[in-house]
Amino acid sequence: MIDSGAWKFIYELKDRIQKRTKTACVCAQDTFQVDYVVMDAGSGVFDNNGGADYALPLVGASTEQQVLQRRAAAQEAAERERLAVRGYFI
């Protein structure tokens, strides 16, 4: 079991990662954050933020709202095309 000092370290590490770490990566267009869980490899104990996972927002990426709007627009376009193929027009 991880003692309270180790948990404190994990939370401090999480804060440092969220505030100071910068790296470049190529992500899919619909990626707006990276979710992660912290685990102690020795004991197998993990911290998943109460089941919510931890999240690192991506700077310069789309927002969650933008991603949802693009998905909704794509779904509407696919539905219009499906209906047009069957002879229905909207």
- Identify which has the larger pLDDT, 1 or 23: 23
16: Cα separation from own chain's centroid: 18
Taking 90 as the threshold, does the pLDDT of residue 73 lie above it? yes
Grouping H, G, I as helix, E, B as strand and the rest as coil, residue 62 is coil
Residue 20 within any structural domain of the chain: yes
Residue 90 within any structural domain of the chain: no
pLDDT on residue 50: 87
pTM comes to 0.53
Residue 10 within any structural domain of the chain: yes
How many domains, the chain?
1
Residue 45 within any structural domain of the chain: yes
CA distance 33 to 54: 10
pLDDT on residue 1: 46
Residue 73 within any structural domain of the chain: yes
Residue 47 within any structural domain of the chain: yes
| Range of the structural domain that residue 27 is part of | 4-85
CA distance to 25, 42, 87, per residue, from 11 (Å) = 24, 18, 58
Structure confidence by residue, pLDDT tens digits, 13-54: 666 666 666 667 777 888 888 888 888 888 888 888 888 888
